[in-house]
Structure 1
Amino acid sequence: MNKHGKRLITLAALATTTTAIIHIANKVVAASAGLKEMLDTNGKNYYHWRFGDIYYTRKGKGSPILLIHDMLPGGSGYEWSRIEDDLALEHTVYNIDLPGCGRSEKPGMTYTNYVYVQSICDFIKNVIGEKTDVIVSGYSGSFVIMACRNEEKLFNKIMMVNPVNPGALKQMPTKRDKLFRKCLEVPVFGTLVYHMVVSRTAINNEFIENFAFDPFHPLRDLQDAYYEAAHKGGCYAKNVYANKVAKYMNIDITRALKEIDNSLYIVEGEAENNGEATVEAYQNINPSVETVTLNETKHFPQVEDPEHFLEQVGIFF
């Protein structure tokens, strides 16, 4: 065998060994992320939706309220853990993990705004079974606005917590975005890149810099829940992130926001990045949107100041 042939065999062996090592490392990272068991599954309620099982909890009695978490990497219903029991004293509270998130099934599919619109509408029709109020966090507010426009009879009042600026939602996928998504979807190596994005250090830094009002008290339990949820499902956990970062979930909500007649209420954290500009953008599109700012909070006012957040819920609902 000539030197060229031996070199090729050596390179192939090295590539195979490297891939195997990275694959094992990915498995270890995903398994170890759940050691703290932050995401309780004792309720074992699953809505068997056509594109995968959706995990949810149901608590209390009274008029229904649906809680929908943000679409940050690692997002799940745990986001509402500090207020759902209090809400359940007067309401039937449904808290879901959206498709591809948290404890819900994570199929390898293209996750678009329409997928989430359909999942929310189907959940209300088939699980809640009546018109419902909604409290929705962050990016997911765009799903609820579009769902309400499509099937208004399913929705009553809508409270949005730190929603995304409507202008940002107009950005459509570019060739570079699509290429990045394809790279993330590559087995083993794409998962390695994703694990870097949602590493313990990366999530902690994101909370300190962008989510927590007080960087010296950066919501440790929520960080742990985000870290666990971001790895739950192994290599399939990256699917939602790949589609979101590539802007596949974006949609222009301007027309829908203008047309819906439902009561809309925005709760903004005092220190939320570009919070004032975002509120102004919503009111410019729909002047009937009501707003309130919670002091000494940032991206998660329902976590940082649950008492005053619940006061606003009582006022609005």
Structure 2
Amino acid sequence: MSWKKKLTTCTAIAGTTVGIMHVVNRLVYYISTMDNLLFNKDEKFYDWRFGRIFYTKQGSGSPILLIHDLNICSSAYEWNKVVGELSKTNTVYTLDLLGCGSSQKPNLTYTNYLYVQLITDFIKHIIGEHTDVIATGESGTFVLMACANDNTLINKVMLVNPGDLVSLAKIPTKRTKLLRHIINTPVIGTFIYNMKVNKRTIEEDYRNQYYYNQNNIEEKSIMTAFEASHKYNTHSKYLYASIKSRYTNANVMHCLKNINNSIFIVVGNANPENALTANQYQNQLPSIEIAEIEGTKHLPQMESPEDFIEQVKILFDIEDTE
């Protein structure tokens, strides 16, 4: 076979492969978003400088801002089992972070400080007063950074199973930067993202990391996470690329010692690593209080909402109205 025929054959195979990938990408997008599970009748939007931010506001009283985990599968749905009860005594705000859920998902490099700016601006422009904040997982890092930057915005802080301080201190490398560029490519990058983030992998995360009692896992929770990770033409892949490339990491050890806020950490005690990580924070700032919720892992607010609400009321000094 001449080199011209070989080149033609290779080009045809490559074109066919890319075409198949495109069809698969469109199919995954259709299947993941067809049920519109993220719709919320109370939805509002904040026109932030980097994109529209979905949020909700319920109740009245002292404000509490609930921030979901920094994860492309996460959204304000993470709080749906606790918002109703908390809104009986407080004004409760939830939001979808930029790149997540129903918020816009622009093609940019997502950094920890980008989210520091988002939380700061949201509290200033939407809430407008001193606010208590509850954040899950790695979202706690930019809440702490926001506290360190401006101590007039945030009052008490509750971190739910915060990220490991050592891992969060890791910075981007040449390898991780290359990975980001590959994932950001139009067809091939989207295909790789779809292979890494799909209903099966999300279900595995729920079973292995998020929940202790697998009987408590609801199919709707998995499907909502699946939709959140693909809404808006699978543009969550840009945040995914930034997370995998460590651009959202931040070394918060230096700022912990300069924070005067009351900080509480709630951990799911079914995963021993959660308590070890909480102790890392307490070693940096001994005033931090740690509370455990029995029989839960990463998402106690979803797995055991009654116990979670009880801890919020205790730590935030919330009195029942009944």
Normalization by structure 2: what TM-score?
Answer: 0.95
Instruction: Indicate the SS of the match to 1:57.
Output: strand
Separation in structure 1 between the aligned mates of residue 78 and residue 125 of structure 2, nearest angstrom: 24
296-305 or 267-276, which moves further after superposition?
267-276
Which residue does 2:27 correspond to in 1?
Answer: 28
Separation in structure 1 between the aligned mates of residue 219 and residue 144 of structure 2, nearest angstrom: 31
Q: Which amino acid aligns with 2:160?
A: V
RMSD: 1.3
Runs of 4+ in structure 1 deviating by more than 4 angstroms, as ranges, are none
Which residue does 1:255 correspond to in 2?
Answer: 254
Report how far residue 205 of structure 1 moved: 1.0
Which residue does 2:69 correspond to in 1?
Answer: 70
Question: Counterparts in 2 of 1:177-188, with a 5 A limit?
Answer: 177-188=176-187
Q: Which amino acid aligns with 2:228?
A: A
For the 8 Å contact 2:72–2:99, the answer to whether it is kept is no
Separation in structure 2 between the aligned mates of residue 289 and residue 178 of structure 1, nearest angstrom: 35
Q: Which amino acid aligns with 1:297?
A: T
Which residue does 1:231 correspond to in 2?
Answer: 230
Instruction: Indicate the SS of the match to 1:7.
Output: helix
For the 8 Å contact 1:162–1:272, the answer to whether it is kept is no
Separation in structure 2 between the aligned mates of residue 98 and residue 280 of structure 1, nearest angstrom: 27
Separation in structure 2 between the aligned mates of residue 155 and residue 175 of structure 1, nearest angstrom: 36
Which residue does 2:320 correspond to in 1?
Answer: none
> Does residue 59 of the first structure (1) align with residue 40 of the second (2)?
no
- Aligned identity (percent) is 43
Instruction: Indicate the SS of the match to 1:36.
Output: coil
Report how far residue 256 of structure 1 moved: 1.1
Separation in structure 2 between the aligned mates of residue 135 and residue 221 of structure 1, nearest angstrom: 23
Separation in structure 2 between the aligned mates of residue 231 and residue 303 of structure 1, nearest angstrom: 22
Separation in structure 2 between the aligned mates of residue 72 and residue 283 of structure 1, nearest angstrom: 24
For the 8 Å contact 1:159–1:265, the answer to whether it is kept is yes
Structure 1 gap ranges (5+): none
Separation in structure 2 between the aligned mates of residue 7 and residue 130 of structure 1, nearest angstrom: 68
49-58 or 180-189, which moves further after superposition?
180-189
Report how far residue 99 of structure 1 moved: 0.4
4-13 or 227-236, which moves further after superposition?
4-13
Question: Counterparts in 2 of 1:133-212, with a 5 A limit?
Answer: 133-212=132-211
Instruction: Report how many residues are paired.
Output: 316
Instruction: Indicate the SS of the match to 2:134.
Output: strand
Report how far residue 273 of structure 1 moved: 5.2
For the 8 Å contact 2:123–2:153, the answer to whether it is kept is yes
132-141 or 22-31, which moves further after superposition?
22-31
For the 8 Å contact 1:121–1:154, the answer to whether it is kept is yes
Report how far residue 286 of structure 1 moved: 0.2
CA deviations 1:59-78 (Å, max 9, x no partner) are 11111100000012311110
Separation in structure 2 between the aligned mates of residue 293 and residue 35 of structure 1, nearest angstrom: 38
Report how far residue 181 of structure 1 moved: 1.1
194-203 or 105-114, which moves further after superposition?
194-203
For the 8 Å contact 1:158–1:262, the answer to whether it is kept is yes
Which residue does 1:102 correspond to in 2?
Answer: 101
Q: Which amino acid aligns with 1:3?
A: S
Separation in structure 2 between the aligned mates of residue 115 and residue 248 of structure 1, nearest angstrom: 10
Separation in structure 2 between the aligned mates of residue 311 and residue 163 of structure 1, nearest angstrom: 19
> Does residue 6 of the first structure (1) align with residue 5 of the second (2)?
yes
Separation in structure 2 between the aligned mates of residue 70 and residue 298 of structure 1, nearest angstrom: 14
Separation in structure 1 between the aligned mates of residue 219 and residue 164 of structure 2, nearest angstrom: 27
Q: Which amino acid aligns with 1:310?
A: I
For the 8 Å contact 1:210–1:273, the answer to whether it is kept is no
Separation in structure 2 between the aligned mates of residue 211 and residue 49 of structure 1, nearest angstrom: 31
> Does residue 275 of the first structure (1) align with residue 274 of the second (2)?
yes
Question: Counterparts in 2 of 1:31-50, with a 5 A limit?
Answer: 31-50=30-49
Report how far residue 179 of structure 1 moved: 1.3
193-202 or 220-229, which moves further after superposition?
220-229
Instruction: Indicate the SS of the match to 1:136.
Output: strand
Which residue does 1:296 correspond to in 2?
Answer: 295
Instruction: Indicate the SS of the match to 1:259.
Output: coil
Separation in structure 1 between the aligned mates of residue 123 and residue 271 of structure 2, nearest angstrom: 30
Separation in structure 1 between the aligned mates of residue 200 and residue 292 of structure 2, nearest angstrom: 30
Separation in structure 1 between the aligned mates of residue 106 and residue 33 of structure 2, nearest angstrom: 20
Which residue does 1:113 correspond to in 2?
Answer: 112
Report how far residue 17 of structure 1 moved: 2.3
Separation in structure 2 between the aligned mates of residue 211 and residue 69 of structure 1, nearest angstrom: 13
Report how far residue 186 of structure 1 moved: 1.4
Report how far residue 97 of structure 1 moved: 0.1
Separation in structure 1 between the aligned mates of residue 281 and residue 218 of structure 2, nearest angstrom: 28
Structure 2 gap ranges (5+): 317-322
